[in-house]
């Protein structure tokens, strides 16, 4: 059995400012087309996240997926973080989706910085 692994970093210590909508990349885009990663054909998908600095009382992140042929975003996992994480967390995406993205938000206008790290690790076994 052969293994092929790849990954993509979406947030690398990005300072998340106040937003009522989820943002999907370090440029803080909340567009419906932002941040999608093609994961079709991979056997294992891991999302690695960490809130390295938290000035707000909470930061919420969400993993979303799209199935084909519907192509609409669906929530896979959501977590609200209320304290700085000392080590990154790995979340396995067991749903067989065609694409995923990670969104993050903090609704507090006076709390910054909120440094967020997130990436996707994809493994294909053949």
- For 95-122, what is each residue's pLDDT tens digit? 989 999 999 998 887 777 889 999 999 9
Q: Give Rg (Cα) of the chain.
A: 15
What pLDDT score was predicted for residue 101?
96
What CATH number does the domain containing 61 carry?
2.60.120
What pLDDT score was predicted for residue 74?
94
Count of domains observed in the chain: 1
Write the DSSP string, 62-82.
Answer: EEEEE-TTT--EEEEEEEEE-
- pTM comes to 0.89
pLDDT surpasses 80 at 26: no
Two tokens, residue 51:
């809130």
> What pLDDT, in 10s, does the model give residues 49-100?
999 999 889 999 999 999 888 788 999 999 999 999 989 999 999 998 999 9
Domain that residue 114 falls in:
3-125
Strands laid side by side in the 44-54 sheet: 3-15, 114-125, 44-54, 89-93
Q: Kindly tell me the burial class for residue 49, based on how many C-beta atoms sit within 10 Å of its own C-beta (0-12, 13-18, 19 or more).
A: buried
pLDDT surpasses 80 at 24: yes
What pLDDT score was predicted for residue 37?
93
What pLDDT score was predicted for residue 5?
92
What pLDDT score was predicted for residue 30?
82
């Amino acid at each position: 059995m052969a293994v092929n692994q790849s990954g993509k970093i979406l947030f690398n210590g990005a300072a998340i400012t106040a937003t009522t909508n989820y943002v999907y990349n370090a440029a803080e885009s909340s567009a419906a087309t932002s941040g999608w990663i093609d994961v079709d054909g991979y056997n294992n998908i891991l999302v690695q996240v960490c809130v390295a600095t938290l000035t707000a009382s909470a930061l919420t992140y969400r993993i979303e997926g799209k199935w084909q042929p519907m192509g609409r975003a669906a929530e896979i996992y959501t977590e609200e973080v209320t304290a700085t994480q000392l080590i990154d967390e790995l979340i396995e995406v067991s749903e067989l989706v065609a694409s995923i993205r990670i969104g993050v938000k903090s609704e507090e206008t006076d709390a910054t910085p909120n440094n967020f790290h997130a990436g996707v690790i994809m493994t294909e076994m053949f």
